[in-house]
Amino acid sequence: MKIPLFRLAVLVACITPGALLLYGAFVTGDLGINPVETLQHRTGATSLQLLLASLAITPLRKITGWSWLIKVRRMLGVWAFVYGFAHFMSYFAFDRLFSLAGVAEDVVLRRFVLSGMVSLLAMLPLALTSTKGWIRRMGGKKWQRLHRLAYVAAVAGALHFVWKKKVLTFETIAYTMSVLLLLGYRLVEATRKRRPSSTRQAPAA
């Protein structure tokens, strides 16, 4: 597939859930019986899905050999933050009526709000340093190290969802399994790389 076309398709996929929400809110005026819940549910779920999609790029690329997948990883991560921020703002505006004290109280008293906050704050430096200029300024190694915060964001995001739902549903199991699989893959890869070359199997002649 041509890379610009692929990037455009992913961009459209990232924008569509937000565009549908705005369309429902301002054009048809139909966001269901509880518009705030719809807003919070869709922005939260889209943020988590895009975050997991961005983390799935590296394993997919290595398994399939489709190196061009890397072209959309940053885009997925940035949109995950955009939806996460919109999700937080809908909570801040409608649930907490723009009270920072109210948010602070929730963070202390409700573990699902604390984990949501950790997830969003972990994504913030990633979104801020997502440009080519920042990669150049920081150097590839440092940038990659900082971007390990994406794992923190994913674990905290999944915990946030599980703690919010409280019961095991198809969705909670699916998100938890996805995070475990994506992190497990990285752990296996890191262990394999760290193993001294003498203990690795010699390549077949």
The residue behind tokens 């937000």 is 18
Residue pair 189/55 in contact by the 8 Å Cβ criterion: no
Using the rule CB under 6 A, which residue among 11, 13, 31, 45 binds ligand HEM?
45
CA distance 124 to 113: 17
Rounded to whole angstroms, the Cα distance separating 55 from 190 reads 15
Question: 64, 99 in Cβ contact below 8 A?
Answer: no
* 44 binds ligand HEM, rule: CB under 6 A: yes
Contact 134, 146 (CB under 8 A): no
Residue closer to ligand HEM, measured from CB, 6 or 102: 102
| 131/129 Cα distance (integer angstroms) | 6
Applying CB under 6 A, does 17 fall inside the site for ligand HEM?
A: no
Minimum CB–partner distance for residue 84 and ligand HEM (Å): 4
- The yes or no reply on residue 38 touching ligand HEM (CB under 6 A) is no
Judged by CB under 6 A, the residue of 14, 113, 150, 182 near ligand HEM is: 113
Total chain residues near ligand HEM (CB under 6 A) = 22
Contacts with ligand HEM by CB under 6 A lie at: 37, 40-41, 44-45, 47-48, 51, 84, 87-88, 91, 95, 113, 116-117, 119-120, 157, 160-161, 164
